[in-house]
Amino acid sequence: MASGALLTGAGVFSSTRVLAGSAGPITRYPLYVPPTVDVGSLPTAYLLTAKASTVDLGGGKLSKAWVYNNFIPGPTFRAGQGDIAKINLKNQLAQPTITHWHGMVVDYQNDGHPAYAIQPGGQYAYSFPINQRAALNWYHPHPDKLTGQQVAMGLAGAFIVNDPEEGALGLPAGPYEVPLVIRDASLNTKGNLQYKPGGDGFFGRIPLVNGTANPYLNVDTALYRFRVLGGANARVFELALDSGDPFTLIRNDGGLLAASTQVATIDLAPGERVDLLVDFRALKVGDRVMLRDLSAGWDLLQFVVIRQVSDPTPIPTTLSTIVPLGTEVRTRDFSFDGMSKINGLVYDMSRIDFQVPFGDVERWRFTTGGNAPHPVHVHGASFQVVSRTGGRGQLFPWESGWKDTVLLQDRETVEVLIRFASYKGEYLIHCHKLEHEDNGMMSNFEVV
């Protein structure tokens, strides 16, 4: 069943699938945009079901996949500061699962720790207040050793947090604000999604944007806001426009940057997010622009200008205030060893590796000798990246402000400042290359 046709569920308020057509030398299909669910204003908990199903990856042919509520990606959740998100996860897969809200600052019981995985047929009731800056976060499975398979088979979705600060900027909205979940995938000879990781992780043979292969998006001569999520298991994308125009970068994992910046290319590792303004106002009807991945040499998404409009939306320069975290109380070292260890240890779900005092500023130093990429992700708090030495030897514009995932390449040392000031309890640090995570490159710690 085409995922765009399944819009009858409670709480599903909107969906967009532009009319079919083709553009360019290969057949392209309309970009799928998942329905939005305002989870902050529902009278009852929203039911999110993980199950095997079929999806249309473009072109009408159905592929077997694992999906949240029939969609790849799953519904886009939206909530505002002060709201309470209530979501019931139902497991209709044939294996255990649990959902983690990546980037959401929630207490331990709502964080999707693998110890809380539910068996087939089970349910997990989440309920958490939204108390953080506006951002694009996301949700995906987090069971012990099965995360890579479940994500590659299709389980993931966006979770947007809104707040008054961002609302006051007058950023492009409605049809001009489009989430883009970028990942790679492999199909078997029958056209079904398959998960066959190699020794160095899962690298799919084709890119998918919002679950669409070879997508296009019809656009107006307007300013657009693309909220981009690196949703691959292992692949790092290098985003660029074939027009040579830069992106205007306004936001990353943890919300708005201090100021907007023009960047020609952006590295996007698994788990990272960027918010990009793209200006089509100087183009004419019929013009085309391609969003590309320079790393694999892939065309990701074609923009086709179909309508002339006049759009006065200003591009903001000053965006937010980023208060530096200040001086650390202590430093901790984390060595990402081989493809399965942190500080020499393979993950053990029942072992707590260290304790972090609530409210202290700490300096965490991530290093690796090899086997990168290691996108380092921390649950429970965002951090500020302060330095990178070795390897690429610099910080990039998309690493300023607040982050929850930072890319560690071979022979790099990255230092971040972090402070857990929302909840006590058990959280995780891990490599977001999902095959490394599943192999054990993950550690439990406790905020005390």
| Amino acid symbol at 215 | P
Q: Which is nearer to ligand C2O, 235 or 377 (CB)?
A: 377
Torsion of CA 111, 113, 115, 120, to 10 degrees: 80
Nearer to Cu ion, 218 or 295 (CB): 295
Report the nearest approach of ligand C2O to the CB of residue 425 (Å). Answer: 15
Window of 166-174, 178-186, 316-324, 425-433 that interacts with ligand C2O by CB under 6 A: 425-433
286: region left, alpha or beta (phi > 0 left; psi from -120 to 50 alpha): left
Binding partner of 273, given ligand C2O, Cu ion, none, CB within 5-8 angstroms per partner class: none
Q: What is the DSSP string of 69-96?
A: TTBSS--EEEEETT-EEEEEEEEESSS-
Burial per residue of 342-381, b for 16 or more beta-carbon CB atoms within 10 angstroms, e otherwise: beeeebeeeeebeebeeeebbbbbbbbeebbbbbbbbbbb
User: By C-beta, is 161 or 431 nearer to Cu ion?
Assistant: 431
Site for ligand C2O in 68-97 (CB under 6 A): none
430 binds ligand C2O (CB under 6 A): yes
Q: Taking the CB of residue 145, how many other CB atoms lie within 10 A of it?
A: 14
Q: If contact means CB under 5 to 8 A according to the sort of partner, which of Cu ion, ligand C2O, none does residue 142 touch?
A: ligand C2O
| Binders of ligand C2O in range 221-280 (CB under 6 A) | 271
Q: Which does 379 bind (CB under 5 to 8 A by kind): Cu ion, ligand C2O, none?
A: ligand C2O
Nearer to Cu ion, 160 or 342 (CB): 342
Binding site partner of 341, from Cu ion, ligand C2O, none, Cβ cut-off 5-8 A by kind: none
Helix (H) or strand (E) holding 242: none
Partner that binds at residue 431, options Cu ion, ligand C2O, none, CB closer than 5 to 8 Å by kind: Cu ion
Q: How far is the CB of 372 from Cu ion (least distance, A)?
A: 7
d(CA 294, CA 202): 19
Residue range at the interface with ligand C2O (CB under 6 A); choices 59-67, 290-298, 356-364, 427-435: 427-435
Find where tokens 């902050």 sit: 40
The residue from 102, 133, 183, 292 that contacts ligand C2O (CB under 6 A) is 102
Chain contacts with Cu ion (rule: CB under 5 A): 374, 431, 433, 436
What is each CA distance from 140 to 25, 114, 205, 432, 438, in whole angstroms? 34, 12, 21, 12, 14
Which of Cu ion, ligand C2O, none interacts with 225 (beta carbon under 5 to 8 A by kind)? none
Contact between 113 and ligand C2O per CB under 6 A = no
**Which of 133, 235, 341, 377 is the binder for ligand C2O (CB under 6 A)?**
377
The answer to whether 72 and 54 are in contact (CB under 8 A) is no
Q: Which two structure tokens, joined as six digits, stand for 327? A: 């001086």
Contact 31, 212 (CB under 8 A): yes
Give the footprint of ligand C2O on this chain (CB under 6 A): 100, 102, 140, 142, 271, 377, 379, 428, 430, 432
